[in-house]
A and B are shown apart, each in its own frame.
Chain A
């Protein structure tokens, strides 16, 4: 029994840390723009395909393909923002960019459908075969890789936000864009940077998720639904909350699979979401704020 708990705990954290990678991008974009980016899912999918073709068609190594997916994701984020979102924002509309993210998402999905077809691809990595055994728990080298890559990435992102001038500027833009402009910060540049970072994380998440996803042009959608839930449970725009909520959802998923039924995962996750909205609408960690006048 204890072994099962431990084993599923490890599985949950592996899956959860992938969700965190995807959800953090949504959180960052939400924090800066107060806007949900529906196209985020498709960048996850494109990241997975970029890694797939790099390894399976060009014979590249899986490790390098993670970096490729990161770059492809970041470049896509830059392109989509520069070509579509930024011009719409300049026109001062609140609703148009949101609708545009849905439009971009549908466009990307159908472009991928045209190129890649509807049949799932089998994404094999050399690391999924190697099983490590410690005591009576098992995990693959792939899981270890996922944990290392995502922990490192999250740590780097955290340090960037906390200790660099640009990271502090990013937080300032998300708290008060006009005042950030008065500090000499170009908000448009930081919004662009946010899209690039968020999309790079999504692309990389795609490369790590590829081997466990049913890899079709719609693969990202299944992940993004949970990522949305995670962003809400973590408190919109709250980075720490998102990390905790992501791991929590990963654990819920793996324990539900073990003790209930895999078909119930979404029901349990979204029941938690509704519960959170009812009892703590500000999310797991409410930002500490005392109003003093």
Chain B
């Protein structure tokens, strides 16, 4: 498989406060890769660095063979990286449709294409088409998550980065969202998935990395990680893993 994204020795900080060090990982074409870890481990920080919202202090990021380490976020979107940020971050005073349109900002001169992409998102999430002219801030949490996901897909990314898509949502909706993530992947988009819900994450992804206080402490195929004593102990209640993986894969 060809390499899509690769980071090498990333060092990330907020001002003078270090957050992550020596972050080295990669995502291949067509993969779903997950980053798991406890609160404050540095998962969001890492994703923001990939999307360009935070520039690293040291290390490199390569995407489709190009060094993008110092590229601002708005240029990475053009190259094919999309991020669904933590907490969804829809534009609250823009309508759902306007939010989607902005997701396709790089296609702004091609009205027909934007319309076709919106139709695709509406087909994926019919609920959104009913809410199209409503301000995004008035949507329910689940609808906002669908909107944030749809908005990211509007740029037709090669790599979709998701920061805790299950946060604060009812189990039914979480299952819906994960099913959609799988079908997006099946249709050809690679996915980098950050989750606190390690059970769902390990059941959805093929490989994973475990972050702890800013460093990667374990990595490997999800099947192996599920058996890893540190992972089981920290993130998984022993018994529940298998049950969920069955439900998700259905």
Interface mask (B75-109 → A, CB under 8 Å = 1, otherwise 0): 10110001101000101111000100111011010
Task: Report yes or no: B106 in contact with A184, Cβ–Cβ below 8 A.
Answer: yes
Query: Which chain B positions have C-beta within 8 A of A166?
Result: 108
Query: Which chain B positions have C-beta within 8 A of A176?
Result: 89, 91
The complex places the Cα of A146 from the Cα of B247 at a distance, in Å, of 67
Query: Which chain A positions have C-beta within 8 A of B138?
Result: 288-290, 292
B168 within 8 A of A: yes
Instruction: List residues of A (57-84) whose CB comes within 8 Å of B's CBs.
Output: none
Shortest distance between the CB of A127 and any CB in chain B (Å): 39
Task: Report yes or no: B141 in contact with A184, Cβ–Cβ below 8 A.
Answer: no
B190 within 8 A of A: no
Task: Report yes or no: B77 in contact with A184, Cβ–Cβ below 8 A.
Answer: yes
- From B93, B135, B141, A293 is in contact (CB under 8 Å) with B141
Task: Report yes or no: A181 in contact with B141, Cβ–Cβ below 8 A.
Answer: no
A168 within 8 A of B: yes
A182 within 8 A of B: yes
- From A178, A183, A287, B102 is in contact (CB under 8 Å) with A183
- From A168, A169, A179, B89 is in contact (CB under 8 Å) with A179
Instruction: List residues of B (118-140) whose CB comes within 8 Å of A's CBs.
Output: 135, 137-140
Query: Which chain B positions have C-beta within 8 A of A115?
Result: none
B contact residues, total (Cβ < 8 Å): 34
A contact residues, total (Cβ < 8 Å): 25
Query: Which chain A positions have C-beta within 8 A of B155?
Result: 183-184
A259 within 8 A of B: no
The complex places the Cα of A168 from the Cα of B73 at a distance, in Å, of 19
The complex places the Cα of A186 from the Cα of B78 at a distance, in Å, of 11
- From B51, B98, B144, B168, A182 is in contact (CB under 8 Å) with B51
Task: Report yes or no: B94 in contact with A175, Cβ–Cβ below 8 A.
Answer: yes
Query: Which chain A positions have C-beta within 8 A of B101?
Result: 165, 168
Task: Report yes or no: B102 in contact with A172, Cβ–Cβ below 8 A.
Answer: yes
Query: Which chain B positions have C-beta within 8 A of A186?
Result: 72, 74
Task: Report yes or no: B139 in contact with A292, Cβ–Cβ below 8 A.
Answer: yes
The complex places the Cα of A59 from the Cα of B123 at a distance, in Å, of 62
Query: Which chain A positions have C-beta within 8 A of B144?
Result: 292
B6 within 8 A of A: no
Instruction: Decide: A183 near B94, CB < 8 A? Known: A290-B137, A292-B140, A293-B141.
Output: no
B53 within 8 A of A: yes
A171 within 8 A of B: yes
Shortest distance between the CB of A184 and any CB in chain B (Å): 4
Task: Report yes or no: A184 in contact with B78, Cβ–Cβ below 8 A.
Answer: yes
The complex places the Cα of A115 from the Cα of B231 at a distance, in Å, of 74
Question: Which residue of chain B has the shortest Cβ distance to A287 in the bound complex?
Answer: B93
Task: Report yes or no: B139 in contact with A183, Cβ–Cβ below 8 A.
Answer: no
Shortest distance between the CB of A228 and any CB in chain B (Å): 23
A185 within 8 A of B: yes
Shortest distance between the CB of B126 and any CB in chain A (Å): 19
In the A-B complex, the 9 residue pairs with the smallest Cβ-Cβ separation, listed nearest first, are A184-B77, A181-B73, A165-B108, A184-B105, A179-B89, A184-B106, A186-B74, A289-B137, A183-B102
